[in-house]
C-alpha cells in the first residue's frame, strides 16, 4: 500500500507543481515501498525510530530526485550545494516529525480502533 500511496501522491505532485511528470512519482513510490518494509520491521512507538526513518526517507527521496533530474534534465552536478540543501531538509523534516508525530499517532490509533471495531457492545449483537 505504501508504494501505491507514494505513486499516487507523487503523480499528483508532478501534475500540480512538478516541471517534469514522473520524477516525484518514482521517488515517492520507492520511498513508499521502503516505508512498507520499515513498517513491518520497526516499532512505531519509539520517536527515535521514527526520526531515523524520516531522515533515511528524506535522504533517499532527495538523492533519487537529484539523480533523475541530472539524467533527464541534464542539470549541473553541484555536490556541495546538494549536501547543504539535503542537510537543511533533513533537519526541517525531523523538526516537523517531532512536532507533528504525536498528533498523527493519536489520529492513527483512533482510525485503527474505528476500523477494527474494538467496541465491547458490538460483540454481543
**Domain-wise residue ranges, the chain:** 2-118
Grid coordinates representing 8 are: 499516487
pLDDT tens digits, residue range 40-66? 777 777 788 888 889 999 999 999 989
Do 28 and 61 form a contact (C-beta atoms < 8 A)?
yes
pLDDT tens digits, residue range 15-24? 898 777 888 8
Q: What is the pTM of this model?
A: 0.76
- Which residue in this structure is represented by grid cell 552536478? 77
Rounded-to-integer distance, Cα 83 and Cα 100, Å: 25
Rounded-to-integer distance, Cα 64 and Cα 81, Å: 16
Rounded-to-integer distance, Cα 85 and Cα 118, Å: 45
- Which residue in this structure is represented by grid cell 512505531? 44
Amino acid at each position: 500500500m505504501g508504494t501505491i500511496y507514494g505513486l499516487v501522491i507523487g503523480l499528483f505532485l508532478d501534475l500540480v507543481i512538478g516541471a517534469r511528470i514522473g520524477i516525484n512519482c518514482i521517488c515517492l513510490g520507492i520511498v513508499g515501498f521502503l516505508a512498507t518494509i520499515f513498517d513491518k520491521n520497526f516499532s512505531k512507538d519509539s520517536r527515535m525510530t521514527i526520526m531515523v526513518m524520516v531522515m533515511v526517507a528524506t535522504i533517499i527521496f532527495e538523492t533519487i530526485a537529484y539523480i533523475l533530474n541530472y539524467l533527464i534534465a541534464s542539470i549541473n552536478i553541484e555536490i556541495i550545494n546538494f549536501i547543504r540543501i539535503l542537510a537543511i531538509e533533513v533537519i526541517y523534516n525531523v523538526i516537523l516529525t517531532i512536532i507533528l508525530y504525536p498528533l498523527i499517532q493519536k489520529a492513527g490509533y483512533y482510525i485503527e480502533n474505528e476500523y477494527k471495531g474494538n467496541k465491547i457492545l458490538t460483540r454481543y449483537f
